Structure 1
Amino acid sequence: MAAVISPVWVPVVSSAVGGIMAIAGGIVTQQIIAGKEKRAHERKIASERAYLGSQLLVSLMEFRDRCQDFADCPEWPGMMIPAPPGLVDFEDTEGDWSVLPGALLLRIRRLPLLQKKFNQAIRDCFEEYGADFEYSEVATHRYRKLRQECESLVTELCILCRLPSDVYFPELHESGHPTN
């Protein structure tokens, strides 16, 4: 025996199916819209990171070179004592800094403080030992540490911001192929 649906129930079943389809369609539409918004937000963050990261990379590489020049000064341990490089400054760096992870942001922002601390240690050493070997050894050691910190930050920024590292370290990538 076949079940027979009473003609009275046809509009009710039809309305129920239509309502369920409308709800399902609304859910699917909302998921599609949410996915598009999420991808647009991710693209915006990636773009902002690339913009901010490129500025920071240039500043960090310039400071890294100044630290290297100071640490490898040919005057050591002679009488000509070069002045340490000026403080690294990120005040002119434009962009939304909140797109960077907190730990990386802290490491970048503490670089001038670390430099001030190192400069004070160098001055204290100079006052205690004068311009002899001990002073030059302390100054060289401290500024090589700053240089290493800059290189570490540059590497991390290249990875995070998806910027090609071979632009900033051509000596590491002789093949000429992009690494990212």
Structure 2
Amino acid sequence: MKKTSVYAIILKFINVDERNNRQIKNIIKSFMYRGIMVITSFLTIPICLSFLSKSDYGAWLTVYSILSWVTFLDLGLGNGMKNKVSEAISKNDSLLARKIVSTNYLLMSFIIFLLVGIVIILSHFLFWPEIINSSIRTDEFHFTITICFVCFFVKLLLESINGILNAFSKTSLCGTDLLCL
């Protein structure tokens, strides 16, 4: 019996030229990866609630929301890199593409290093449990929130890979880093 993939089954129903094959593969893979991420996020809620009280879980959701706002600190560097790398690839200039990627990572590293320093300094002056209305012990919360911010900033730096994946038309792989975390 011959094995057929989801991709092959869809191609039977849609008449596509070779140029669009990669896009269709990316769409199918994106749906699969996103589905796995949604299922995983639903499965983590009961696990987290088994370790944390509802109040503590609410506090961590608030911290996560604050950290999610910080993702906009990319300042357009990821999209700018994607556009410039795509341009360099279309000109077959791999040296320029490498320079663009390394410059982007250097800039993002500098911004992240600066932000980590600001968070470490500010976290000594902020009373986090009061800010997010939680009863968690201050010293425990202070340390944990500092670690969360530092890890989130490192993740922000590593997410620049998504711009490179987009430039190489491998959009289905964007966001799969979240599956690893």
TM over 0.5: no
Instruction: Look at both structures and tell me which one has the larger radius of gyration over its CA atoms.
Output: 1
| Structure with more contact order per residue of length (Cα contacts < 8 Å, sep ≥ 6) | 2
TM-score normalized by the length of structure 1: 0.32
Q: 1 or 2, which has the higher helix percentage? A: 2
TM-score normalized by the length of structure 2: 0.32
